[in-house]
Structure 1
């Protein structure tokens, strides 16, 4: 005797209309293949967030020298270290905060805030007239740009499971390229 049985635990996927997680799951189910458009967006944003980490190193010595804050030439490196590290201090202090905001309000708004902050605070850093302005602009740039974890989470969310390794490789590759060409771009603008 053959009986047609259906599992009681088997469910059809039910999606809520206003749920961002359901929207993303539905989008992944409808995708066939690699989402090249989303991966290129992720690549560009990740590159932009990595560029400003190292782009100041070719010219920060001359910038500190022109601020006339160091009493001796040997102290310029001391002050340049503060400007260089202030970005990472700001980033370390706000990474958790931006992760919570991204979980609550979505990854895209937080990524857009971070990308916009790159433009604003890098411009203000370039227009700095004294040491404290340069230090604070780098700090605020780091505060609004704690995107590494958020970009990785977004990359793994927009791809189907079989393409998640590719998506995370895109993030790592673009960050590496950004860290390599950042000093080149900084050196070009230092001239």
Structure 2
């Protein structure tokens, strides 16, 4: 009788621990990215904004792509610039991670906004999806934007680096 009770309690504790680990993993996932079933195309990934900064300004980059274990086609790169000067047109934007420099193409302005201290410019562009694997291989990102009258650089700080490493280890390492 005691053995049965002990066995029942042990199984119950194991079940509770397993459910708790499952909850914490999905919670971690929802902090950095979301996945959606996209039918025959595979899984659609939405990577939540990763913030790169300079002294007083920042860029928030979010990425959407679809994969069926193989990265193909292109990824949508949306980004918001928070700057002290209005930027409504870009000549170029690229992200370097120390080993590769990857360009975001077909950039177009989505909207402009202003608050007390700065301007927000929201843009959207495209990048070959297979380039994402190269980009996430290193967490030392520098985004460079070139507009009509200025060049700005934004770097990944500690928090962004940890996010990039997490995404590489849980998403991009699995994709070909």
TM range (shorter): under 0.3
With normalisation by structure 1, the TM-score equals 0.25
With normalisation by structure 2, the TM-score equals 0.26
| The structure with more radius of gyration | 1
Give the structure with the higher percent strand: 2
Give the structure with the higher percent helix: 1
